[in-house]
Structure formats: structure tokens, C-alpha cells
Amino acid sequence: MRVLVTGGAGYIGSHGARALKRRGHEVVIYDNFNTGHRELAQGFELIEGNVGDAFTLARALRDIDAVMHFAAHSLVGESVQNPRKYFENNVGDGLVLLNTCVECGVHKFIFSSTAAVYGNPREVPIAEDAPKQPVNPYGFSKLSFEYAMQSYDPAYGLRFMSLRYFNAAGCDESGEIGELHDPETHLIPAALQSATGARNELQIFGDDYQTPDGTCIRDYIHVDDLAEAHVLALEHLAAGGASNILNLGTGKGHTVKEVVTTIERVIGRELPKRIVGRRPGDPPVLLADPSRAEKMLGWKATRSLEQMVASAWKFHQLRSRARAV
Ligand code: UFG
């Protein structure tokens, strides 16, 4: 298949693009480099454009069989400060893409959704039909887009897979691509920055949660496992499979302190770190029930937390070296 990958120069999108290529699909990356990085799109056919630009999109979609839509804003805190940005981009521009797909006859659509649609879950692990009660505009924007896809399926024949990510982590084994956010708010890259001196210390947000060691539990999933699930989801649609919504996680949780200990073991030294107060809006435990994805796609995350950390560390080091020369 020839696949348009929006946001293919971003963290998860660049891994999705590689996973498609490895399975023999043709990839066209569509990115405006607002938050994407040219180095992550290297080696791919590229169209520079906005997701809200119907004209450029219509030309880009001319010979395309399917779309993987990664392009989005994804900072929870920023979404609270500036919800307009999140609704304009994740919903408004996203709908321009969805409408242009329908108009151009592109009916296979893979969407990057998030565990943020569940808000503070009543029960863990979380299954897909658990209540959807986002606690921030980012979660609302992704859920709104899911509702649009669900409405477009019976009306316009759009077939979609909405993939709700838990905590994406790690980098491709090649070390060529990885997580590059500015500002960096995610735990593993923030901890690695504290290891290299790019930040003074890692702040651990709260150790008074009702969890075994008092720190929050998350379901970390290797970005290559995530990327492979996208390809399988697309192939499922191509084989005539129905639209669906799938959690992508491992079903296993790790506390922040466990992640820190794993990082210290991988890099061979202690991190400068300090316990500080809770970060507003952090649920104590987020854990996926990934059984639907396994049943539908025959997919299961296989990579460990150790592999996530080691691959992220490799990318971090290669990049620091490349910048030093
Ligand atoms: N944490 C720290 N210190 C840091 C960064 C994070 O202690 O410097 C902690 C957080 O409090 C949390 C855990 O590490 O307990 C993971 O935090 P991340 O910021 O890495 O990830 P989140 O769980 O906040 O975010 C993820 C996804 C979002 C999604 C959200 C849903 O990255 O896209 O889950 O709650 F919206």
C-alpha cells in the first residue's frame, strides 16, 4: 500500500513510517515541521504541508491507499492553558484531513488516540468500553475526533482504527530516530537529560499516592511495539476488517521509582533526583487491558522497560555525539 503518514517527522510518526517501510509499504510523510524534525523524516518521500490545508492535502492524497494520522498537539499541560490550539489543530484541522480523505476516496484511516480519553479510570486495567471522561482538553480533542470517525464510518464508508496509546517510550533499535520534544515533559527522556546534565535534576512528582512505593504507575510501551501495531491495524483494514478502537499497552505497570531504578541500572550511575509535589492532573494508576488488540490483530507488545530505556539512552548518546562534532 502507499500510505500518507501525517506527522511522520514526529516521535511516534517517524517510527510508524519506518515500520511501514520495513513491511514493504510505500510511505509519503506529510508534515509541517511545526514540532517535527527533518532529521526524523530523512530517507522518505516528503510533502510539506498543514493538516488543515485541503488544497495541498487533496494533491497529496491523489495516489494514496491509506492514511496514518499522527500529526497533533499532545502536551496535556499546554492543552489546559491553550485549549483553542488543541481543538483547532486536533479537531478542526483533523476534520479537514478526514473530509479530504472521504472526498478523495481514501477510506482506510489509522488514528493516534490516547489513554487520556479515559481520564481518571474507575478500574484498572482499562478496557476500551470503560467510561470516557477526559480530564483535560487534550483528551477531549482526541475523543471528539474518535466520535467524528465513528459517525463517518456508516455515512461515508470510512474505515478506521483508533489506537489509544498508553505511555510510549524508547526509540528505534537503529538509534537513528527517537524522542525529541521541546520542552521535554515525559519521564524517561527527562530523566536521561538529568543524566547528561541537560537538566539539573529529575523531579519525581509525588511519592504519596496509594501505590506500593507511593509513586504513579504507568503502562510504558516501546514505540517500536506501538509502530508495529499500526501496520497490523492497517493490514487488518486492507483485508476487509471492520473499524475498531484498540488500547495499545503492555498490561503491565511500573512506578516512577521503578523506572528511575531501571534507568540507573542501564546507564550505570545514579540520577540526580528529588521528590517534589504531585503534578496536577496525574492519575495514580493507568494500565491498559490490551486483550482486544491481541485478539483482533494477533499483536502483543514484546519489548521490556529495560529495552525502552536502553534504546532511548542509545539515541540520546548518539545525538549528543553527533552534535558535538
Ligand atoms: N513524571 C515525573 N517527573 C517528570 C516527568 C514525569 O515524576 O519529570 C511522572 C509523572 O508524574 C507520571 C509519570 O512520570 O506519573 C509519567 O509521566 P509522563 O509525563 O511521561 O506521561 P503521562 O503519563 O503524564 O502522559 C501520558 C501520555 C499523554 C497522555 C497521558 C494520559 O504521554 O499523551 O499519559 O494521562 F495524555
Dump pLDDT digits (tens) for 192-219.
999 988 899 999 999 999 999 999 999 9
Q: What's the confidence (pLDDT) of residue 180?
A: 82
Parallel/antiparallel/unpaired status of strands 167-169 and 254-255: unpaired
Residues 145 and 191 in one domain: no
CATH of the domain at 107: 3.40.50.720
Cα(76) to centroid(ligand 1), Å: 9
The residue whose C-alpha atom lies closest to atom 25 belonging to ligand 1 is 167
The residue whose C-alpha atom lies closest to atom 14 belonging to ligand 1 is 187
Residues 233 and 300 in one domain: no
Inside any domain, residue 181: no
Ligand 1 near 291 CB (within 6 A): no
Residue 241 identity (one-letter amino acid): G
Is 222 in a helix, a strand, or coil?
strand
Q: What's the confidence (pLDDT) of residue 288?
A: 98
Residues 159 and 257 in one domain: no
Residues 121 and 68 in one domain: yes
Q: What's the confidence (pLDDT) of residue 325?
A: 63
Q: What's the confidence (pLDDT) of residue 298?
A: 98
Place of cell 524522542: 179
Is 245 in a helix, a strand, or coil?
strand
Residues 140 and 270 in one domain: no
CB proximity list for 233: less than 8 A, separation 6 or greater:
110, 161, 163, 246, 297
Residues 113 and 256 in one domain: no
Residues 197 and 294 in one domain: yes
Inside any domain, residue 176: no
Ligand 1 near 186 CB (within 6 A): yes
Contact 243, 159 (CB under 8 A): yes
Cα–Cα distance for residue pair 92/99, rounded to 1 Å: 11
Beta bridge partners of 108: 66, 159
Is 269 in a helix, a strand, or coil?
coil
Cα(149) to centroid(ligand 1), Å: 27
CA atoms within 13 A on the CB side of 219: 24
> Is the pLDDT assigned to residue 122 strictly greater than 80?
yes
The residue whose C-alpha atom lies closest to atom 36 belonging to ligand 1 is 116
CB proximity list for 1: less than 8 A, separation 6 or greater:
25, 26, 65, 66, 108, 234, 238
**Domain-ending residue, one of 229, 248, 267:** 248
Ligand 1 near 185 CB (within 6 A): yes
Inside any domain, residue 175: no
How many structural domains does the chain have?
Answer: 2
Inside any domain, residue 177: no
Ligand 1 near 136 CB (within 6 A): no
Ligand 1 near 256 CB (within 6 A): yes
Contact 271, 264 (CB under 8 A): yes
306 is written with which cell numbers? Answer: 529495560
> Is the pLDDT assigned to residue 183 strictly greater than 90?
no
Inside any domain, residue 256: yes
Inside any domain, residue 141: yes
> Is the pLDDT assigned to residue 178 strictly greater than 90?
no
* Residue among 49, 151, 68 at smallest CA distance from 110: 68
Residues 69 and 202 in one domain: no
Q: What percent of the chain has pLDDT over 90?
A: 91
Residues 229 and 82 in one domain: yes
Beta bridge partners of 68: 5, 110
Beta bridge partners of 248: 165
Which is the catalytic residue, given 86, 138, 152, 220?
138
Going along 70-216, which residue ranges are E strands? 108-114, 159-165, 167-169, 202-205
247 is written with which cell numbers? Answer: 488500547
Cα–Cα distance for residue pair 218/173, rounded to 1 Å: 22
Cα(78) to centroid(ligand 1), Å: 13
147 catalytic residue (yes or no): no
Residues 111 and 234 in one domain: yes
Inside any domain, residue 182: no
Q: What percent of the chain has pLDDT over 70?
A: 99
Ligand 1 near 199 CB (within 6 A): no
Q: Summarize the confidence of residues 73-81 as an average pLDDT.
A: 93
Q: How confident is residue 186, by pLDDT bands cut at 50, 70 and 90?
A: very high
For the segment 262-311, what is each residue's pLDDT rounded down to a tens digit?
999 999 999 999 999 999 888 999 999 999 999 999 999 999 999 999 99
Domain range enclosing 122: 2-169+221-248
CATH of the domain at 206: 3.90.25.10
Among 14-23, 255-264, 277-286, the least confident range: 277-286
Q: At what angle do helices 187-196 and 256-267 cross, to 10 degrees?
A: 40
Residues 230 and 313 in one domain: no
Cα(241) to centroid(ligand 1), Å: 33
Q: What's the confidence (pLDDT) of residue 182?
A: 80
Residues 10 and 21 in one domain: yes
Inside any domain, residue 158: yes
Is 158 in a helix, a strand, or coil?
coil
Q: What's the confidence (pLDDT) of residue 324?
A: 67
Cα(235) to centroid(ligand 1), Å: 31
